Structure formats: structure tokens, C-alpha cells
A and B are shown apart, each in its own frame.
Chain A
């Protein structure tokens, strides 16, 4: 019923005589340093680069090479002479229904996708909500904010251990609350294995991730000049419409960045399931990383493990591509 933004853009295009150019970028680079003729920058980055080569680059190349071999051992003599199998490992992982690792991989992939979806959505959504809540002029806002950060400060292994205890169906407090106190359930459900086990890792992850998301959103909210809200208020927008048309659009760049790294971090989650449920969390909670570590180190299937890691990297590159396509415009908005 109200005129849409697109209709306005069209009218604007006609009136102004331009094509409706989307985000016209005026590249205004401030502070362009002259191209350094000294070698100082190279010296400055040398230490970091060295370590990066040693621990990141070389191992990655070695990993690729390993993924092209058929290996099930750690013995070095065998390592170098193991047969080349080309892309067989990848094929096995992805398509070979008879292979147990393939089945494990599919299951873990499914679990990881579900885990990531829920964790990222809840973390960012609740983080944003709490940030909005804290952005009001409440007395003691600083203290509140610092206290809200505490879940993040608790080390992840302590948190995982604690929640493992809390999730126990016999003595854990979660079931105490569910069954004994609030009577939401009649029986004490099992959390640490079985169909609920994915939630047993989602919830602690969300709990631990909210503070950082909240902190970043809060900073973004406070960077919005109050006058924009005042102008919107005078223009006729109530609190909800102010949020939708003014606040959230201005938060989109931050949101995009958190989304990017949130998905990466969640997809590569290892600590929580490993500590809570051991090296095999079971078919409902096995994530890609627990699978890979198990197959590579416990079962010594080095080639398959490396192939799996490479596939994960490729998947992540796809994600980055998708993300970039979706959010590229937000990254270019200049204030």
C-alpha cells in the first residue's frame, strides 16, 4: 500500500536523468601512503609471514598431497611410498555408499548444517535483541554490559564440562527443572546421546556466543547518531518502524561480518562435542570436525581425513562466495 523504495528509485531516476545506479562508489581514499621505497614493511611482516608459511601454508600443501594418497597408517616409510589414488578419496567420501566413512561423513555433514543454522540464528538474533535492550539509558549500563560478557569469559572446556553435568539425565539440573520443578515433561529425557544430543551442544554454544555478538551490535547501535532516530520519529515512524528502516539497515555491515565468521566458526566446531561426548558423539551429534579427527587419528585413515578437510575448505569458499554476493553492497555503504 505504501510506495515502495523501488518505485521511488525509479521516479528518482527519471527526474534526475541518471539510470538508477545502485551504489555509486566515489572512491575517496583518504590518507594514501606513498608507495614505500624502503624495505621496512617487508621486514615488519617477516616474522608473521614466516610462521604463517611454516604452520599454515606448508601443512596445507602437505595436506592436499596426503589427500591424494591411500593411507591408513602413520609410519613414515609407508607415508612416502603409499600409492597415489588421485581423487579416489574424494569420491569415496562423497559417493561410496558402502563405505562407513562416507556414511559418517554424510551424517556429520547433516548435523553440522543443522547445528550451524540454529547456533548462528539464535546467537545473532538473541545477541541483537539483548544489544537493543541494553542500548537504553539504564543506570548501571556499563556494569550490566560487563556482566553480560561473563559467559564468553568462561573457558569453553569448563563450559562444556559444566553443561555435560547439567545435561545428565539422572542428576543434571536441566532435567530437574524440566521434570521436577516445572513439570513440562513427565519423563527425564536423555540429552547426551540420542536425538536430543544435537541440542545439547547447540544450547551451550549459543549461550557462549551471545556476549560477543551482543557487544559488537551494541557498539554498532551506539555509533548511530541519536538524531537519526529523532528525525525518523518526527517523520512519523514509531519504535518498530524506526528499527526496521533506520537502525537495522545501518547495522547490516556488522551483521554481515558476524554472519560470515559465525558460520565459519560453527561449521568448524570441535571442542564442545568432543569434551561433552567424547571422540564419537554419536550419529546425532557428530560434527564434521569430530569425524575428521576421529578418522585421521584414531582410525589412522590419513588420506580420507585430509580429503575431508579439503572438502570442508571448498565448502567454506562457496559460503564466502555466496556471502560476498549477498552482502557486497552493504560493505560499500559510505557514511
Chain B
């Protein structure tokens, strides 16, 4: 930190340490990639063929597992939930950022409160509720994409509200006031001026919700069966049924990571800014 007095050898040592740490952190991922390019024989004996990649796993994984189905379910459900959660978060987050209204404080506390309760507390009644609705009404929510979207939207809205609120607070009031003087209603100013100013934040929130939904296991495990089964559950079924098919398993892992990786790296700058801005202010 000071220019005089830091020894050069310390600095080099720290540089080396940084790269070592990076390597250790990335090692499992590198392993995943390498291992997915081996065939089952290599994997079970531990003799890796580094220069002769085998795409066996990738080719055959589709045959044993209805992978496409799961992947599409996951993407559709996650995207749908992310859209709704972000939309709700925009309006609610804006309300909390800009207005002081009766019930704001209790509402905020409730939002935080929802994070304190274990998922099982909601899961059981929701599960029962879906079944009941399926029997006594036209709403088939159990094992349906719509049902999952509803549940996930509700679940990931709280954190999204928190993120979006931080973004809205960062927008100076002046431009909203200017828009209202120029003739917009308050809501109009929100839509025309504030939202465009927070596009990075919206993108970040969307990607964050998408990541969380894609990842979710607890609710998916009970609320889905064959129709709406998502990727995590599908993979797990596969693991228990065909535990010796390592190559396919690992290949499935790699393929499952790709959509997330793409989404992440495309928006990482905004995502990082959003997460850290919220953290440092909050």
C-alpha cells in the first residue's frame, strides 16, 4: 500500500499466490470440462486421454435422458419467473425508493421476513394447495410450468425488490421532476425516464433471478413430475438410475452450465455493478 518500503519479493510472492488461488478455484471447472471429454472407460480407470477427446458422453446423453425436455422446462420457467419477478421488483422497488407511505415499513420488514423462513414452510401448503386446486377447479398447477412460474416469481421477488430499490435510489430525483413539469404523470415519468436510466439494473436483476430460478431444487423436487420437470431434478434422476454412465453425466453437467455461462458473461459487468452497489449501500 505504500510505495516505499514494500519489498519486491513480497509483491512477487503475492502475485504468485493470487494466480495459485485462481487456479485452485477454477480447478473443479477445468476438471469438469476435461472429464466430460473422456469416455466411460477412461473415467472409471482414471486414465485420462488428454489429447484424444471423446464426445461419447455428449452424443449419447440425449438418448438416455429426456434432456431436451428438462432443459426447455428449466429455461422457460426460469425466464418466465425472472420476467415477472423483475417486473414486480421494478414497481415495488420504485415505490419503496421514492415514496413514504403508510405500510411501507411493515412491508419492508415482511419482505425481509420471507427470507427468514425455510422453504419447506411454504412448500408443503403450496403443494397441498396445488393438488386441491387440481381436484376442485380447472387450475392444473401441480406439475405445470405455470405453477412453477407462479411459485418462483413470488420467491425471487423479494431479493429483486432489494436490488432494484438500490438502483432507483441512485437515480437523481431531478430528472423525474423535470419530466413531470414537462407534462408526464408520475407513473409516466417512471416509465419514460426512470426505467430507461436503470436498464443495467434491470438486466442485472433479471439475470440474477434467472440464475436463482434455474438453480432451484427444493420446490422443483416436489412440485414437478414428468411434465414440468426441471433440469436439476432430471439430472438427479439420471444419476440415481444410471450411476455408471459417468461420461453422459458429466456431459450433461457441461451442457447445463452453458446457458447460464452465456447469460452471465453477457451481462457480467452490470450484474457485478448491481450486486456490489446494493451491498455497499445497504
Direct contact between A and B judged by beta carbons closer than 8 A = yes
Residues of A at the B interface (CB closer than 8 Å) are: 31-36, 38, 40-42, 44-45, 47-49, 51-52, 54-56, 58-60, 62-63, 66, 74, 76, 79, 130, 133-134, 136, 138, 144-151, 153-159, 161-166, 171, 173, 176, 207, 210-212, 215-216, 218-220, 223, 226, 229-230, 233, 239, 242, 254, 257, 261, 264, 267-268, 270-271, 274-275, 278, 288-289, 292-293, 296-297, 302, 305-306, 308-310, 312-313, 316-317, 320
Given A48-B89, A138-B18, A166-B28, A74 and B264 contact (CB-CB distance below 8 Å): no
A162 to B251, CA, bound (A): 10
Contact in complex: B126, A55 (CB < 8 Å)? yes
Q: Hey, which chain B residues are within 8 Å of A316, CB to CB?
A: 116-118
- Give the Cβ gap from A154 to chain B, nearest Cβ, in Å: 5
A165→B26 contact, CB < 8 A: no
A33 and B122 within 8 A (CB): no
Q: Is the interface of A mostly helix, strand, loop or mixed?
A: helix
- Chain A interface: which of B57-65, B197-205, B212-220? B212-220
Given contacts A38-B186, A48-B92, contact A162 B250 (CB under 8 A): yes
B residues at A contact (CB < 8 Å) = 1-2, 14-15, 17-18, 21-22, 25-26, 28-29, 31-32, 35, 43-46, 87-89, 91-92, 94-96, 98-101, 104, 107, 110-111, 114-129, 131-132, 135, 150-151, 153-155, 157-158, 161, 173, 186-187, 211, 214-215, 217-218, 221-222, 231-232, 235-236, 239-240, 246, 249-250, 253-254, 256-257, 260-261, 264-265, 268, 272, 275-277, 279-280, 282
Please list 21 pairs of residues, one from A and one from B, whose beta carbons are closer than 8 Å in the complex, sorted by A's number.
Answer: A41-B101, A54-B150, A59-B126, A66-B125, A74-B131, A76-B132, A76-B135, A151-B29, A157-B215, A158-B32, A158-B256, A161-B249, A161-B253, A162-B32, A171-B45, A230-B2, A257-B282, A267-B118, A271-B232, A274-B217, A312-B121
Q: Are A51 and B88 in contact (CB under 8 A)?
A: yes
- Assess whether A157 is in contact with B126, with CB atoms less than 8 Å apart: no
Asked whether, in the complex, the Cβ of B91 is within 8 Å of the Cβ of A59, the reply is: no
What is the chain A residue whose CB lies nearest that of B21? A130
Q: How far is the CA of A165 from the CA of B22 in the complex (A)?
A: 22
CA–CA, A165 and B127, complex, Å = 32
Do A35 and B101 contact each other (CB < 8 Å), given the known contacts A138-B18, A151-B29?
yes
Residues of A within 8 A of B187 (CB): 40
Chain B residue with the shortest CB-CB distance to A56: B114
| Residue of chain B at shortest CB distance from A267 | B118
Whole-angstrom CA separation of A31 from B125 in the bound complex: 42
Choice from A76, A229, A242, A293 contacting B120 with Cβ under 8 Å? A293
Kindly provide the distance from the CB of A67 to the nearest chain B CB, expressed in whole angstroms: 9
B275–A216 CB distance below 8 A:
yes
Bound together, the chains give a CA A230 to CA B3 distance in angstroms of 10
Q: Which 7 A-B pairs have CB atoms at the shortest separation, nearest pair first? A: A219-B276, A55-B154, A157-B232, A59-B125, A271-B217, A44-B95, A62-B125
Asked if A55 contacts B91 (CB within 8 A), the reply is no
Could you say which residues of chain B place their CB within 8 Å of the CB of A293?
120, 123, 218, 221-222
> For residue A210, which residues in chain B have a CB less than 8 angstroms away from its CB?
25
Q: Which residues on A sit within 8 Å (CB–CB) of B117?
A: 56, 60, 309, 313, 316
Complex contact B18–A313 (CB within 8 A): no
A63 to chain B: which residues have CB within 8 Å?
A: 121-122, 124-125
Contact (Cβ within 8 A) A41 B110: no
Residue of chain B at shortest CB distance from A308: B120
Q: Once bound together, how far apart are the Cα atoms of A162 and B218, in whole Å?
A: 19
B residues near A278, Cβ cutoff 8 Å: 240
Select A133's contact among B1, B18, B100, B116, beta carbons within 8 Å. B18
Q: Would B186 and A165 count as touching, CB distance under 8 A?
A: no
